[in-house]
Amino acid sequence: MKEVNKDENKERGKGRSPISSIPLPTIEQVYCNALQKNDNEKKIEEENKSENEVLRNEMCNAYKFLVNYAYFEPNFEWLPMELLIHIFQYLNTRDLQTAGLVCKRWFDTTQYFRLCKKILVHFQIFKYSDTAQPMNYFLSCTRYFPNIKFTIVKFTPKNDAFWDLHGDMIEELSFNSCIIYKPEFLRILKSCPRLNYLCISRCDDLYKSWNIMKKSNGTKMIFSKVNTLKIHETSLLTKPIFNFMITSMPNLTSLNLENCFGSMKARERTEILDSIIEYIERQAKQIKTLNLLNTQTDLIFLEKLAETENLKLDELRLTFNGNIPTIGKCGILLLIKAQNNLKIFDLTDSKGLSNLCLMEICKNISTLRKLILTRCWLINDVGLREVRKLQFLEVLDISSCDRVTDLGLLEGLIPQGKKFFKLKELYLGLLPYMSILAVYRLSQQYDELQVLDLSGSSNSINDEAIQMIFRYQWKLKRLNLDCCAKITDFGITGYSEHSELGNCKNYVPYNLNNLKDLRYLNISGCYQITDKSLLKCFDLPDLKELNISRCHNCTEVGIQSLIKKCPFIEQLDMSECSRHVTDSTIEIVTKYLTRLEILKLNGCDQITDESLESIKFNCKYLKSLFIRRCRFIINNNPFEVLKNVKYIYN
Amino acid sequence: MDIDRPSDPQVSVVSSDGTMFHTTLKSILLSGTIKDMIEHIGEGGVENMGAIPLQNVDSKTLEIVIKWIEHHKDNIQPTSEEIKDKTADFIDPWDENFLEMDLDKLYNLITAANYLNIPQLLWLSTRKIAMLIKNRTPQEIRSLFNIEDDWTPQEIEAVQKENQWCEEK
């Protein structure tokens, strides 16, 4: 059927047709046809030589067609598959999906396993059933979905169809706040033989049901491919469950127990910590990643971890809240000395981490690529200046280490006044004692940054400093300027009628448009920014996330020009721009931003129910909508209007 | 093997439609395919080997390729393994300018870069196409690349229903 259809298209002369959609006569076929003809009409033909000429012409034409049309016609539909894959590997998920919708051959290309691995199927908020949507959509398709995640899904027994069909291909599986019981859980695991990553977060029903349910008939289950196990946010993980997990997954290389055991009784917690440390001691050679962020550990645990033989971690994340260590024998110091091969060290929220610890880290772990010290309040300049010993450092996060000043920053990061590291990401949020000078020098020296976070460090950035960032940081992908209220239009556009700098002869202005690669921009609370900036700058074609909340001085005119210049924004926050965000603004925003996934309009008290209608009409992909404190939205049940939106906060 | 000698001898290549091009050994060695060919010739072959026939590249495309390799002959070229991890890195303005050509030429350039095994050129040209696909609707892509829509509305609907649940990993 298809072939016939395409033939018809061809005859109608609709553009160039792709090569193989036209049934090409091969030379042999043409020849054979000609010969048949020859046989049948031999006698007539012998007499009639002109017939022969027709035949020759026909063959000539076919040959010309083959040579000129088919072989030398470039058409991207028929580019060799491996080259299409080459092209598609640069696309993000949304663009990849769009490319898949272009034609069937491109769609088949997007099913190549390496491209599929980029895509996560995220099932959210429903009661699981094979016969109801959305699971029934997935029962008739043959696509390859290696990554599956469930959030707030209630699982029910005896619904196996999805797992029978797709289980073979699943490699990563996450359960987030799901209602799932032991039998279903085990059955799902059994049907995924290739599973290598399992994450269970906030699924307390699973642990509650663990002991009540009858034991399965003694057969030992082994999931040998699983190498990453994550169990987050639970206080119900008991020793038997943990033991089951680790014995059934013998090849773990990464163990992640974030936010666990918070409300557990002390005795039980010691018990489980003991079994964890026993396990780590047993598997010391194999384990490479350990994450215990915000999980209560104790001194003995850390000491034992430090003394574990053969344990050489690549990545360690933990929160240390113990006694502030002094010189001598102390768990955390021993651990730092023992784990001298780390690439990633994350100590977020460690209230007990002193300068001494940081100095030890810098002295012992010279391999470190990524150091995260968010909210380690005890750190000050004395510790930070030692960071210069970490010559491979690429990512540094010292957000909220609020004792840090310029001195430590400059001595640590720009020793001898020169660029020292290959820094790619720098997080300097909420540092009240950091000044403009530090930002100025850092952005001048480190011109290869991809992420720069200055949120809440309002003392450290003004118009001149932001100009410096625009001048040197043109590789930035994420820029966070939350609450940097000193920035004005002059900083963003580099152009001013009044400023002295602007009138200076040798002054070359820079503006936001220099940051062509920017994906994420947060200028929340920079209330001095007005329409002038929005109209002049924001030529940022790649922008995906934008936060302009609390920019009171931006009006509809500015917002309209902004969204026309960045039509691919997926997450937009316009909270509390109250005066100027009206129903007509929302109509324009939803009309132009076709890929919008998250829209925040908290406290926009001009908008009414009409906005819900335009959102319903225009936003196909919207997942979350925030409309708190919008007092003119009278509709109490916006879910009825917006059936596709999964989260509405009102 | 005499590839690393300081002098840079002339080499000729012949396109599929018979046009001969002259370039230097140093530039032509950026092509993995030709490098392999020359390595197989062995001792003293480079001077006497004559023109290299390239059956899969026509003269227009070959001209473009030669322009590129001659410009880049002194740069260190990444291997195809290194290219795999390379994403949105900085592109030389010369390259940016060089890639300003129509789609037919770009198509031929991609196939030629693939055949001649020049990882950096393949990376540049395929990435250029990716930039054209990016941020467009399916219909826009179809009309840009002149591709026929062979989906039925039912099929498209089914795929879109699945896509609704997909997101970036």
pLDDT at A2: 40
Q: CB–CB of A16 and B168 under 8 A? A: no
* Burial classification of residue A519, based on how many CB atoms lie within 10 Å of its CB (0-12 exposed, 13-18 middle, 19 or more buried): buried
Q: Which of B166, B154, B168 is nearest to A140 (CA)?
A: B154
pLDDT at A6: 41
Place of tokens 């996330």: A545
pLDDT tens digits along A116-154: 998 999 999 999 998 888 898 899 888 889 999 999 999
Chain A residues inside the 8 Å CB shell of B114 = 80, 82-83
Instruction: Please tell me the distance from the alpha carbon of residue A461 to that of residue A432, in angstroms, as a whole number.
Output: 11
Residues in chain A: 650
pLDDT at A542: 87
**CA-based nearest distance A123→chain B, Å:** 6
Indicate the pLDDT class of residue A59, thresholds 50, 70 and 90: low
Q: CB–CB of A119 and B167 under 8 A? A: yes
Indicate the pLDDT class of residue A327, thresholds 50, 70 and 90: low
Chain B residues inside the 8 Å CB shell of A104 = 150-151
Q: Is B126 on the interface with A (CB under 8 A)?
A: yes
Q: Which of A284, A363, A350, A362 is nearest to A319 (CA)?
A: A350
Instruction: Please tell me the distance from the alpha carbon of residue B60 to that of residue B111, in angstroms, as a whole number.
Output: 13
**CA-based nearest distance B48→chain A, Å:** 33
Give me the percent of chain A exceeding a pLDDT of 70. Answer: 86
Q: CB–CB of A143 and B138 under 8 A? A: no
Distances from the Cα of A182 to the Cα of A129, A191, A218, angstroms: 17, 14, 15
Q: CB–CB of A137 and B158 under 8 A? A: yes
pLDDT at A70: 46
DSSP state of A20: G
pLDDT at A141: 83
Q: Which of A213, A165, A219 is nearest to A192 (CA)?
A: A165
pLDDT tens digits along A135-144: 988 998 888 8
Half-sphere exposure of A174 (CA within 13 A, CB side): 18
The token duo for A37 is 């003809």
User: Burial letters for A425-434: b for 16+ Cβ neighbours within 10 Å, e otherwise?
Assistant: bbbbbbbebb
The token duo for A544 is 């995906």
Summary mean pLDDT of chain A: 86
The token duo for B132 is 């054209």
pLDDT tens digits along A481-512: 999 999 999 899 888 766 555 555 566 788 89
Q: CB–CB of B166 and A141 under 8 A? A: no
**CA-based nearest distance B51→chain A, Å:** 24
Helix or strand (DSSP H, E) at A638: helix A638-641
Q: What is the rounded radius of gyration, in angstroms, for the C-alpha atoms of chain B?
A: 20
Mean pLDDT score, A613-619: 91
Sign of CA dihedral A22, A25, A27, A28: positive
**CA-based nearest distance A76→chain B, Å:** 6
Q: CB–CB of A80 and B126 under 8 A? A: no
DSSP state of A179: B
Domain boundaries along the sequence of chain B: 10-149
Mean pLDDT score, A343-368: 93
Q: CB–CB of B160 and A134 under 8 A? A: no
Indicate the pLDDT class of residue A4, thresholds 50, 70 and 90: very low
ipTM score of complex? 0.91
CB A352 within 8 A of CB A332: yes
Strand partners for A419: none
What residue ranges define each of the domains in chain A, with the CATH number in brackets? 437-568 (3.80.10.10), 570-650 (3.80.10.10)
pLDDT tens digits along A223-266: 999 999 999 999 999 898 999 999 999 999 999 999 999 888 98
**CA-based nearest distance B96→chain A, Å:** 15
Chain A residues inside the 8 Å CB shell of B160 = 101
Counted across chains A and B, CB pairs separated by less than 8 A come out at 138
User: Burial letters for A570-599: b for 16+ Cβ neighbours within 10 Å, e otherwise?
Assistant: bbbbbbbbbebbbbebbbbbbebbebbbbb
Residue A540 has pLDDT above 50, yes or no: yes
Chain A residues inside the 8 Å CB shell of B130 = 87-88, 90-91
Stretch among A357-366, A386-395, A635-644 having the lowest mean pLDDT: A635-644
Stretch among A10-24, A298-312, B76-90 having the lowest mean pLDDT: A10-24
CB A130 within 8 A of CB A161: yes
Q: CB–CB of B137 and A98 under 8 A? A: yes
Instruction: Please tell me the distance from the alpha carbon of residue A151 to that of residue A128, in angstroms, as a whole number.
Output: 11
Strand partners for B20: B14
Instruction: Please tell me the distance from the alpha carbon of residue A96 to that of residue A110, in angstroms, as a whole number.
Output: 7
- Domain spanning B10-149, CATH class: alpha beta
**CA-based nearest distance A597→chain B, Å:** 10
pLDDT at B90: 65
- Predicted structure pTM score: 0.85
Instruction: Give A27-95 as a DSSP string.
Output: HHHHHHHHHHHHHHTHHHHHH-HHHHHHHHHHHHHHHHIIIIIITT---GGGS-HHHHHHHHTTS-HHH
pLDDT at A162: 93
Distances from the Cα of A557 to the Cα of A554, A582, B13, angstroms: 8, 12, 59
Residue A44 has pLDDT above 80, yes or no: no
* Closest in B134, B160, B169 to A118, CB measured: B169
Three-state DSSP class for residue A370: strand
* Closest in B135, B146, B147 to A568, CB measured: B135
* Closest in A21, A91, A117 to B133, CB measured: A91
pLDDT at A421: 84
- What order do you get walking across the sheet with B52-53 strand by strand? B20-24, B10-14, B52-53
Q: CB–CB of B136 and A98 under 8 A? A: yes
pLDDT: is A59 or A588 the higher one?
Answer: A588
pLDDT at A49: 58
Instruction: Please tell me the distance from the alpha carbon of residue A575 to that of residue A632, in angstroms, as a whole number.
Output: 15
Which amino acid appears at position A447 of this protein?
D
CB A81 within 8 A of CB B124: no
Indicate the pLDDT class of residue A273, thresholds 50, 70 and 90: very high
**CA-based nearest distance A467→chain B, Å:** 21
pLDDT at A322: 79
The token duo for A84 is 């299409």
* Closest in B156, B160, B165 to A121, CB measured: B165
Mean pLDDT score, A622-639: 89
Note the Cα A526 to chain centre separation in Å: 26
Q: What is the rounded radius of gyration, in angstroms, for the C-alpha atoms of chain A?
A: 32
| Tens of pLDDT, residue by residue, chain B (169 residues) | 445 555 678 888 899 888 999 988 888 888 988 888 888 876 566 667 778 888 888 899 999 999 999 999 888 777 777 776 665 566 788 888 999 998 989 999 999 999 999 988 998 999 899 989 988 889 999 999 989 899 999 999 999 889 989 988 8
* Closest in B126, B137, B165 to A123, CB measured: B165
Number of H-type helices and E-type strands within chain B: 10, 4
